[in-house]
């Protein structure tokens, strides 16, 4: 029975691969199809969907009289598909784990910073069409394109190929599930806990807020320790930007000895006993 199932699966894989190759032979843009296959692991059928997935809305500024097209609708679809696929994978990988654990682990995988990193590691920025010269360094374009790409896979090949893309190309290679599950990503909480123990003053300040798209506001936060800027963070919510700022601050505290010494000096100056002066009665008082 197992042998029969193996042979049936192998035959089905060969047939699907042959059909994919026929689509490749008929496509008009073979270099683009090859680039996508390198990333996806299979040949796409409808290249137009993938072109749209890699089209940033900034291109619309240069074609005001044409029909505007960008990847925001596919980004919306891909966001939902990614959540479903990751939930499916986590459910079967962590057998017996409770809902809270699975939800927390999923949020670490699908958060913007994680998707940006994955997009860059698989080489997706090279295919993105955008008027931003340095879009590979932009804090959100690669991650958005990755979501749109998954949306394109879903429309072109269905859920099974989305699952295959993640299970074969992303999980294990770019995401270690067991490692992610153990990570504590509440950097703001850890920084505040540290400040309470050490009596260092920590403050978070929103420095920038932009409406990037219809439903895509962005935020930038800086964190100061003893009034010294120690980190900045970007995010799609105030909370995310604070987390990123706290993460950078914690890294700088550990790695930048000069910054740490400035913090120590500022802390000592703030907490040093006030100068003792003579009162009108001749008694020593604390100012």
Instruction: Characterize the bridge pairing of strands 276-278 and 228-235.
Output: unpaired
Q: Sign (positive/negative) of CA torsion 20, 26, 30, 32?
A: negative
Query: pLDDT tens-digit profile of 56-96?
Result: 887 766 555 556 688 999 999 999 999 999 999 999 999 99
187-271 folds as Double Stranded RNA Binding Domain (3.30.160)
Which tens digits make up the pLDDT trace of 262-277? 999 999 999 887 654 3
Tens of pLDDT, residue by residue over 92-142, are 999 999 998 999 899 889 988 899 999 999 999 999 988 765 554 446 789
3: left (phi over 0), alpha (psi -120 to 50) or beta: alpha
Position with higher pLDDT, 63 vs 231: 231
Instruction: Residue 169: name the closest of 150, 141, 156 by CA.
Output: 150
Q: What is the CATH number of domain 29-60+67-182?
A: 1.10.1520.10
CA–CA distance from 183 to each of 101, 106, 177, 231, 249 (Å)?
12, 12, 10, 21, 18
Sign of the C-alpha dihedral computed for residues 93, 95, 98 and 99 taken in this order: positive
pLDDT band for 285, please (50, 70, 90 cuts): very low
Rounded to the nearest 10 degrees, the angle between the axes of helix 257-271 and helix 238-255 is: 100
Rounded to an integer, what distance in angstroms lies between the CA atom of residue 102 and that of residue 180? 11
- Tokens 């998707």 locate to 115
The contacts of residue 242 (CB under 8 Å, 6+ apart) are 188, 204, 221, 223, 233, 235
Q: What is the pLDDT of residues 43-60, one digit of tens each?
A: 899 999 999 999 988 776
Tell whether the model's pLDDT for residue 235 goes beyond 90.
no
284: tokens are 């020593």
Taking alpha carbons only, the member of 130, 126, 94 closest to residue 109 is 94
Query: pLDDT > 90: what percent of the chain?
Result: 52
Point out which residues pair with 203 in neighbouring strands: 224
Q: What is the pLDDT of residue 3?
A: 57
Q: Looking at the annotation, which residues are catalytic?
A: 79, 147
The tokens for 48 are 């137009």
DSSP element (H, E) containing 229: strand 228-235
Residue 283 has pLDDT above 50, yes or no: no
Cα-only R_g, the chain: 26
Q: pTM of the prediction?
A: 0.67
Alpha carbon distance 142, 122 (integer Å): 10
Do the first three CATH levels of 29-60+67-182 and 187-271 match, i.e. the same topology? no
How far apart CA 218 and CA 225 sit, in angstroms, is 24
The residues spanned by each domain of the chain are 29-60+67-182, 187-271
């Amino acid at each position: 029975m197992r042998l029969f199932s193996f042979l049936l699966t192998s035959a089905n894989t060969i047939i699907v691969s042959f059909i994919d190759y026929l689509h490749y032979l008929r496509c008009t843009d073979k270099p683009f199809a090859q680039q996508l296959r390198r990333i996806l692991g299979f040949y796409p059928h409808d290249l137009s969907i993938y072109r749209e997935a890699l089209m940033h809305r900034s291109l619309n500024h240069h074609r005001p009289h044409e029909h505007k097209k960008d990847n925001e609708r596919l980004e919306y679809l891909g966001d939902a598909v990614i959540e479903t696929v990751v939930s499916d994978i986590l459910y079967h990988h962590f057998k017996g784990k409770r809902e809270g654990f699975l939800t927390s682990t999923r949020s670490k995988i699908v958060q913007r910073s994680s998707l940006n990193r994955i997009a860059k590691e698989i080489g997706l920025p090279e295919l993105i069409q955008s008027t931003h010269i340095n879009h590979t360094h932009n804090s959100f374009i690669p991650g958005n394109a990755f979501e749109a790409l998954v949306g394109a896979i879903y429309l072109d090949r269905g859920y099974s190929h989305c699952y295959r893309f993640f299970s074969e190309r992303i999980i294990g290679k770019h995401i270690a599930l067991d490692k992610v599950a153990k990570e504590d990503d509440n950097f703001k909480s850890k920084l505040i806990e540290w400040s309470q123990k050490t009596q260092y003053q920590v403050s978070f300040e929103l420095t920038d807020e932009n409406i990037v798209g219809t439903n895509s506001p962005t935020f930038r936060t800086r964190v100061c320790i003893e009034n010294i800027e120690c980190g900045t963070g970007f995010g799609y919510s105030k909370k995310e930007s604070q987390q990123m700022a706290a993460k950078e601050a914690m890294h700088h505290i550990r790695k930048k000895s000069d910054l740490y010494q400035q913090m120590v000096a500022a802390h000592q100056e703030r907490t040093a006993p006030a100068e003792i002066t003579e009162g009108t009665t001749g008694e020593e008082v604390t100012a």
